[in-house]
Structures are given as structure tokens and as C-alpha cells.
């Protein structure tokens, strides 16, 4: 529980952050809210040579509606998302998810961009991003969410690349996120998110594989007029969920179906 030594610098802007990352080399890491990174440092599972602190990058703390899109800055804290009237109006499912992240201290500190860059399989926002076809904007390019998350803790980001913004489609319609967990402040054992769009239902699953999953089979069954239970029966199709001390893969497959059905019933 004693981190290894590292260099530390503060960045005040995106430009500074990227320059510092570039200068510090490939073993450097960005620290935002630190709610996942600091435990890893303490366990010495992560031993970066240098931490670039982006908490002072105020230009990335915003929620901007633009046409039918909602642009959210990477440094927006979970607690801001919970409270934001813009989020509640244009993408209430994001606020609902944010309210279920960790505990109040974690929500006050952790950031949206940190969740994307960290890419934990149990992260909540990646599910929303994948199911809604969100776009991740970095200091140099735009990446579709489905291409951004590559594997467990692995994203399309280059070593010196910074997540700046996530662009979601607005979706004010019926929605629900059910996060199944043993303790209120835990990560999801499995999560199921549903969102009704003009074009039909979008369905996403958390922690049923190395990255967030869009449950396309459920969506197409719904499109074809299936009942919620019938459609939810397809939620485990093609999943390769992990087995760990919390839950077996079989149980996760089962939960994916149960939670998807419940989310649909509760959203409708």
C-alpha cells in the first residue's frame, strides 16, 4: 500500500498536459480524479514514472448541448453530472449512472474522462457510450466508442493522448440502468442499461466481457416486436463474461438476461 516513486507535474491546459506527457515519455500517466489510479499505485500494480495532473485543466469541465448532441468535458466530475440540469434534460440516463458511481467522495473527485481512459470492464459510462454510439474526442482526433474500447484497461489512446470530451446523442426518452452489486458502493457485477430512442431501443451491458457490450440481439428482437422477456432472453448471446470471486460466468450470463428484462420493464 506504499506507491513506488514517481515524478509529478501539474498541467493547466490540454496543450500543457500533452506536452508534459510527451516529455515524460512512455511510462508517464495522466491523473485526473485518481479514484482508480491511486489504489493501483498503492498496490504497486501500476508504477508510472511520471504523473501529469490534469485537475487544473478547467477548460475540460463543461456540459454543452449542441443541436441534438450533448458534449461533456472530460474533467466533468460525477457529482456534476448528477446535478447538471442539462444532463437531466437531455441525457438523464447519464445522470442516473453517475449517481450510482462509488460513494459521495468518489463522485466528488472522479471524472468522466478518467472512466473512459481507465477502461475498467466494470465502468458504467462506457456502456452508455457504446450503446448510444458516442464519440470520444481527444486532443488530436475523434474516435467512435465502439473503436475506442479495445480490451480490458486498453483503449485506442496513444501514450501521449488525452481524452478531452465525450459526445453523446441526446436521449430524453424512457431509460433505466440497473447496476447489480453486493454493496452500494461497489462496481457492477453486471449492469444493464436501456434507452428508448426515436429509432427504437438501445441496450447495453456492463461487466460481461473485457469491454462494454451493446446487446444488439436484444435490440433487434425488440425491433421485430418481441416482448421484453423474449427480447431479454437474447441478452447473453455471444457473451464471454469473466468468472471471479464475485460471480461465475454462468451467473453473469443469467444476470444479463434478468437485468435487461427488468430495465426494460422499469423504463417503459
Partner 1 sequence: MAVTQLIGARVQRREDPRLITGHGRFIEDHTLPGLTHLAVVRSPHPHALILGIDTTAARALPGVLAVLTAADFHKVLSGSMPVTPAFAPEKKYVPERFPIAEREVCFQGEPVAVVVANDRYLAADAADLVHVTYEPLPAVVDPEGAMSPGSPLVHTDGPDNIGWDMTYAGGDIDAAFSRAEVVVKERIIQQRLAPTAMETRGVMASYSPYSEDLSLWLSSQNPHFIRLFVSGAMGIPESRVRVVSPDVGGGFGSKISPYPEDYLVPAASKLLGRPVRWIETRTESVMTTIHGRGQVFTAEAAALRDGTLLGLRLTQVLDLGAYHGTFGAFQACACLMSGGVYRWEAISARTVGVLTNKVPTDPYRGAGRPEGTHLCERMVDRMADELGMDPAELRRKNFAREFPFVNNFGLTYDSGNYDGTLDRALELSDYQGWRQRQAAAREEGKLVGIGLSTWVEICGFGPSAATAGATGGIALVESAQIRFLPSGSVAAYVGTHAHGQGHDTTFSQLVAETLGVPLEAVDLRHGDTAEGPAFGYGTYGSRSLSVGGMALYTASQEILAKARKLAAHLLEASPDDLEFTAGAFTVRGNPQAKKTIQEVALASYGGNLPAGMEQGLEAVSHFDPPNFVWPFGAHVCVVEVDRETGAVEILSYTGVDDCGNVINPMIVEGQVQGGIAQSIAQALFEEVVYDGASGQLVTGTMLDYLVPTMNELPTPKLDRTVTPSPTNALGVKGIGEAGTIAASAAVINAVCEALRPLGIHHVDMPASPDRLWRLMQEAGR
User: Footprint of partner 1 on this chain (CB under 8 A)?
Assistant: 1-5, 39, 43-44, 180, 182-187, 245-248, 251, 254-255, 258
Cell of 243: 468468472
Q: How far is the CB of 200 from partner 1 (least distance, A)?
A: 26
- Contact in structure between 17 and 52 (CB atoms under 8 Å): yes
- Contact in structure between 3 and 41 (CB atoms under 8 Å): yes
Nearer to partner 1, 1 or 224 (CB): 1
Give the phi and the psi of residue 24 in degrees, each rounded to 5: -75, -20
Integer angstrom CA distances of residue 223 from 91, 170, 212, 219: 22, 20, 21, 6
Q: How far is the CB of 258 from partner 1 (least distance, A)?
A: 5
Nearer to partner 1, 164 or 255 (CB): 255
Q: How far is the CB of 105 from partner 1 (least distance, A)?
A: 13
Nearer to partner 1, 150 or 248 (CB): 248
Residue (of 196, 198, 60) closest to 136 by Cα position: 60
Q: How far is the CB of 156 from partner 1 (least distance, A)?
A: 27
Nearer to partner 1, 107 or 196 (CB): 107
Nearer to partner 1, 85 or 183 (CB): 183
Q: How far is the CB of 84 from partner 1 (least distance, A)?
A: 25
Q: How far is the CB of 233 from partner 1 (least distance, A)?
A: 13
Nearer to partner 1, 44 or 151 (CB): 44
Q: How far is the CB of 230 from partner 1 (least distance, A)?
A: 16
The CA distance from 87 to 106, in Å, is 19
Nearer to partner 1, 195 or 257 (CB): 257
Amino acid at each position: 500500500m506504499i506507491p513506488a516513486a514517481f515524478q509529478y507535474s501539474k498541467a493547466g491546459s490540454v496543450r500543457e498536459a500533452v506536452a508534459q506527457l510527451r516529455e515524460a515519455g512512455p511510462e508517464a500517466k495522466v491523473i485526473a480524479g485518481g479514484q482508480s489510479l491511486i489504489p493501483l499505485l498503492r498496490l504497486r500494480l501500476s508504477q508510472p514514472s511520471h504523473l501529469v495532473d490534469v485537475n487544473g485543466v478547467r477548460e475540460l469541465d463543461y456540459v454543452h448541448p449542441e443541436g441534438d448532441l450533448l458534449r461533456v468535458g472530460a474533467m466533468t466530475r460525477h457529482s456534476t453530472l448528477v446535478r447538471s440540469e442539462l444532463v437531466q434534460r437531455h441525457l438523464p440516463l447519464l445522470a442516473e449512472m453517475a449517481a450510482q458511481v462509488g460513494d459521495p467522495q468518489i463522485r466528488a473527485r472522479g471524472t468522466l474522462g478518467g472512466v473512459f481512459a481507465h477502461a475498467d470492464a466494470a465502468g458504467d459510462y462506457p456502456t452508455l457510450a457504446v450503446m448510444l454510439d458516442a464519440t470520444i474526442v481527444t486532443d488530436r482526433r475523434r474516435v467512435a466508442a465502439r473503436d475506442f474500447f479495445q480490451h480490458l484497461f486498453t483503449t485506442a489512446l496513444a501514450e501521449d493522448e488525452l481524452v478531452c470530451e465525450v459526445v453523446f446523442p441526446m436521449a430524453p426518452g424512457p431509460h433505466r440502468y440497473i447496476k447489480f452489486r453486493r454493496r452500494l458502493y461497489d462496481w457492477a457485477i453486471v449492469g444493464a442499461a436501456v434507452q428508448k430512442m426515436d429509432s427504437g431501443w438501445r441496450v447495453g451491458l456492463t461487466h460481461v466481457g473485457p469491454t462494454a457490450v451493446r446487446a444488439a440481439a436484444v435490440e433487434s428482437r425488440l425491433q421485430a416486436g418481441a416482448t421484453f422477456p423474449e427480447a431479454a432472453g437474447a441478452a447473453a448471446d455471444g457473451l464471454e463474461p469473466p468468472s471471479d470471486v464475485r460471480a461465475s460466468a454462468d451467473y453473469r450470463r443469467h444476470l444479463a438476461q434478468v437485468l435487461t428484462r427488468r430495465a426494460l420493464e422499469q423504463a417503459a
